[in-house]
Structure formats: C-alpha cells, structure tokens
Structure 1
C-alpha cells in the first residue's frame, strides 16, 4: 500500500517553495508520491494571471526530474460547479483504491474549514485524511479543538500536523510582482520555469 499526497494550488507560477514543501512533506510523512494539482481557473475566488496551458507547462518542467512528483489536470478540466475538494478526493481515492490518499493543505485552510467556509465540509472531513502545514503562527491544535466538526473526527490519524520548519514567505504573487515591475526573481523558481516565463513574456505589465 502506497501513501499519496494531493497537493493543490494555483501554481501561477510554481515556485521553489512549492517544490521544497512537497519534498519536505514527502520525506516527513513517508509519502511515495506527491500529486501536484493545479486548480481550475473557473473558481470564483481565484483569478489566474496566465493561461492553464502556461501553468501546466511550467509545472511539468518543474517536476520533471523527481520520480516522486506527478502532475494531474483533473481540476483544470472540471466545470466550476464540480470543483470541490470532496469531489477531487473521491476521484483520487477511486484512482488509487489500494493506497492511502492524503490531502495536503496549509493551516490557513484548516482555519477556513473550522469557520465553516468550505462546502461539503462534513463529507470532506469524515471521509479523508489530511496533512496540514504550519502557517503564520496558526495554532493547529487549538483550531481543531475549537471546531466540533474537526475535533469529533480527530481520531489520531485524521490530521497529520507538520508544525516546524515549513513557513516560508516567498509566494507566487511575490514572483509575479517582481516580473511585472522589472525585478529579478530568478532563484525563487526553477530555472526551466524562469526561462519559460522570459521566453513567453509572462507576468509583464501590459
């Protein structure tokens, strides 16, 4: 039985922090695979700065040399009404029926679930396992404790909390801002992605 982590983000663009985080989570949680899942551009709360094609191409370049890393365009292909994490996890659990499948997320998303901001939250939490990464001094244990939904499904294996050494400040938005203002973010993302962005003139001010 393999252990597989589902790592969703906009990856607009994919950064070295994304790769370092995925590698660290795989190492600490003994994952056999990490599946990078670019989110749909149809989500109302997300505004992509470049096309699905460019995001997908850069992600493929970024993970090409790591055998543990895969990319999947499942959410990219969904209609907006289908793009909920509970449906995504159902898909991957059917795809890997003999394996343990975990949803990888930041502690900020755990807070959102505790605050009732996620659709189908009862179904999502009751049916899945989660790897939760520290964010901005959020107390993950207190977040679980204050939520009836989270604490009543915390059976000791539901939430794998990683609370040391995963807080880094460089984001995709920071890199986009650097490109748009003529900055030099070369070493914040994979060389192949940097070259791709330069070649296609991405993230430049119009």
Structure 2
C-alpha cells in the first residue's frame, strides 16, 4: 500500500474531496488538486460539482455542462476523479450530506479529507450542521502565502483542539484539521466568465479540452 510517511504503512485508503460549482473548472482547481494528491499520496481525489450551492448564487450553466467540463479536465489523471452524487440530489448541496454518503461507502478506517480554501473554512459556522463535519472527515485547509486574515472566533477553540501541524500525520478516519500550502494562482471562474462574455481569450486558464467544449456549446456568452 502507498507509504504515507517515513514511519508506517497502512491498508486504509486516503481519499480527498474537493467540491465546488466548477463554473467552469479551471487551472486553479486542478493545480490545487494535483498538489494535494501528490503531497499526501492520496489514493483518490474526487472533484464533486455542486448542484444548488446554498451559500452562493446559482451556477451560470447547467449541471450537465459543468459535469462534462470536469470530466474533460480530468481525462488521463488517474488519481483525480469526478463524482456526480450532488448533481443527482433534488435539494441544495450540503457538504454534510455528501460526507455521510461517502462515509457509508468506505471502510471504517479509510481517511476522508475535505479540502477547503481559507475563505470557505472561515465560513464554516454558516454551514448546515457544520459542527458534525469532523465526525465524518478530516478537514484540509488550502493556505496561500498571501492569506493574512484570522479565523473567526467560532472556529478558534476547534482549531486549538483539533489542529495538527503536519498534514501527512493526520491519523484515524476523521476528526482533525491540518493546513497545507498551495501555489497561489490568481485565477477565478468569475474572471474567466467575464473574459468569455467580452469575447476575449481564456486559453491557458482552463484546459484546452474544456475551452473547446465551452466554444462548441456557446457557453458564457454575455455572462459575467
């Protein structure tokens, strides 16, 4: 089995989860996923497109198109996989529901890592049943060198009790929080949609196959 660190082997799998609208999926999403998968020797990292995100406006394009773009982006990336379970639900995409669903499919000792950006992590107190998340997963926070804000007060006690300094030392199937540095890439889906709406090129901000799909289906014309 994959070696997690210099001291142990384990038969438990380590599975990452990265959710988002992916409207569209871009190099920032993909580079973060690759870096996490490589640093932590993940067995899988699942990108999970959300259907109806409860904390933001509705996606610009359909679930079918967003799923197709993620599938194209991940072609040939063995560790990175797309998981469409949230698109099959007829209700908002709450992370706690997704984690419960995933955990039910895994072995008891498999590690499940919920990957969040710093801003999303700071917003956790507004999430549905947020205080139950660590019952099902570890939380891995993507930390950028330019992030200088502090965690809200509601999270400080949790961080003090549950944080580990080395993300590769996360132990057990769930219950801990770790931070991992990521390469800062100043790219966003909002920026990409604005470029496409104004007729400008978004090449090299999204994979070529995704850009070809966008043009072939006339997506994001007049969007912002």
Output one character per residue of 1:4-33: Cα deviation in whole Å (capped at 9) or x when no partner. 100101111111221111000111122111
* Residue 190 (structure 2) aligned to one of 173, 180, 186: 173
Aligned to 2:95: 85
1:2 to 1:42, Cα distance in 2 relative to 1, 3 A:
closer
Higher-helix-fraction structure: 1
Aligned to 1:94: 104
Q: TM-score, structure 1 length as denominator? A: 0.88
1:43 to 1:110, Cα distance in 2 relative to 1, 3 A:
closer
Could you tell me which runs of 5 or more consecutive residues in structure 2 were left unpaired when the two chains were aligned: 1-11, 171-175
Aligned to 1:143: 151
Q: How far, CA to CA, are the matches of 2:41 and 2:178 in structure 1?
A: 12
Question: Which shifted more, 145-154 or 34-43?
Answer: 145-154
Aligned to 1:205: 222
> Does the CA-based 8 Å contact 1:42-1:79 persist in structure 2?
no
Q: How far, CA to CA, are the matches of 1:74 and 1:94 in structure 2?
A: 13
Aligned to 1:76: 87
- 1:129 matches 2:138: yes
Aligned to 2:3: none
Quote how far apart the aligned CAs of 1:126 are.
4.1
> Does the CA-based 8 Å contact 2:53-2:94 persist in structure 1?
no
Q: How far, CA to CA, are the matches of 1:84 and 1:75 in structure 2?
A: 9
Quote how far apart the aligned CAs of 1:181 are.
0.3
- 1:31 matches 2:31: no
Could you tell me which runs of 5 or more consecutive residues in structure 1 were left unpaired when the two chains were aligned: none
Q: How far, CA to CA, are the matches of 1:43 and 1:77 in structure 2?
A: 16
Q: How far, CA to CA, are the matches of 1:65 and 1:144 in structure 2?
A: 39
Quote how far apart the aligned CAs of 1:138 are.
3.3
For these two proteins, the number of residue pairs brought into alignment is 201
Q: How far, CA to CA, are the matches of 1:147 and 1:112 in structure 2?
A: 13
Q: How far, CA to CA, are the matches of 2:69 and 2:142 in structure 1?
A: 24
> Does the CA-based 8 Å contact 1:133-1:166 persist in structure 2?
no
Aligned to 1:62: 73
